[in-house]
Amino acid sequence: MGVFKQLLVIAVLGGLVYGAWKIGLPQEDESAEAYNGRSEQGATVVVEPVAFAPEQLRLEAVGTARALRSAVLRPEAAGEVTDVRFTADDFVEAGDVLLTLKQDTQRLDVELARVQLEDAERNFQRLERLRDSGSATQASLDEALTALRTARLNLDVAQVALADRTLRAPFSGHIGLSDVEVGSRIDTDTEIATLDDRSLLLVRFDVPEALLSRLSPGLAVQIENWTADGVSDGIITDVDSRIDPENRTFPVRAEIPNADDRLRPGMSFRVTLDLFGVRRPSVPEIAIQWGGDDPYVWTVRDGAANRVLVSILQRQSDRVLIDADLEEGEPVVVEGLHRLRQDRPVDVRTRDGAGPAVTADGTAG
């Protein structure tokens, strides 16, 4: 290519570059003042106020249920069973007769003690009358009084022995299976059946020792059986006073209602407990930005953008709990973040498009 053609190509390229530069300049009808004013106009952003919420820890554990009251029923005496008045899972009232033993001998003992008591009473009354007339000594009267008291005690003992031949329900509840039948010979070590008051269940579960200071009676828990449908609301009733040195946990007991009688003692449950701690600033998750390795948020103070470093503590749904120098109600930017620069003015709007969203001092309006 000749020198003339090379010069011509260079001139054309130079003209194109100059034209592009010229187009990029402000138009002649725009003054320098208008151009500078537009460059200083604040970026439009959307803000939401900072809320404060407590730190939240969800504890999940496995618990085992027992009845509100439970007893293994055993007889007070040995003997032959003559009557069984219950079947498995019957509901019985306190005082209901459940079982009786042969009691012929005990009935005779009661009758004999009653006869002896009547004789002692007659003898004492006779000696009292004789003493008034001077025919009986005080010593004989004292002996008669002792015999009377002894007879009364003998009658009481005989009546207790007779009552021990009958097994009664100590409280209202559902009775369990029994292997005892009429004709069986039993003694005081024989287990007749179990009795459970399952109107309420007590669920025991273990909690790590680090949470000891956060637990107290009255806290609400949710308790769910692995097989039954639905979740039951319970309340912590007891917190143990001692830590297990082997597994570093302590037992806790919660109470759940069982009015519909669908739950049973011995069932295992999944226990869920929400524990709350110190209140911290809470901001929408989209407000969190990252610069290098440090997260931060943009807030509006005195009408200008201000960058605040934060430490993320916990995510709660669509919000984030943070540790930062923020006041409750202070606006944080959730939209328009890419246009922000430190200390640059901003045009603030709320999510519904209303504005201004902050007052003159930079707090939420």
Q: Could you report the per-residue pLDDT of 150-194, keeping only the tens digit for each?
A: 999 999 999 999 999 999 999 999 999 999 999 999 999 999 999
Which range has the top average pLDDT, 142-151, 225-234, 353-362? Answer: 142-151
Residue 300: pLDDT over 80: yes
Residue 61: pLDDT over 90: yes
Q: Which residues of 184-220 are buried (b: 16+ CB within 10 A; e: fewer)?
A: bebeeeeebbbbbbbebbbbbbbbeeeeeeebeeebe
The pair of three-digit structure tokens given for residue 33, joined into one six-digit string: 């003042």
Contacts of residue 51, Cβ cutoff 8 Å, sequence gap at least 6:
281, 282, 283, 319, 328
Give dist(CA 322, CA 282) in Å, integer. 6
Give dist(CA 299, CA 282) in Å, integer. 13
pLDDT digits (tens, 9 = 90+) for 317-345: 889 999 999 999 999 999 988 888 899 99
Residue 231: pLDDT over 70: yes
Contact predicate 220/232, CB 8 Å: no
Contacts of residue 178, Cβ cutoff 8 Å, sequence gap at least 6:
84, 86, 88, 192, 193
Please tell me the predicted confidence (pLDDT) of residue 359.
Answer: 45
> What confidence tier does 96 reach under pLDDT thresholds 50, 70, 90?
very high
Over the chain, what is the mean pLDDT?
85
pLDDT digits (tens, 9 = 90+) for 117-148: 999 999 988 888 887 777 778 888 889 899 99
> According to CATH, what is the number of the domain 43-53+279-349?
2.40.420.20
Mean pLDDT of the 271-276 span? 89
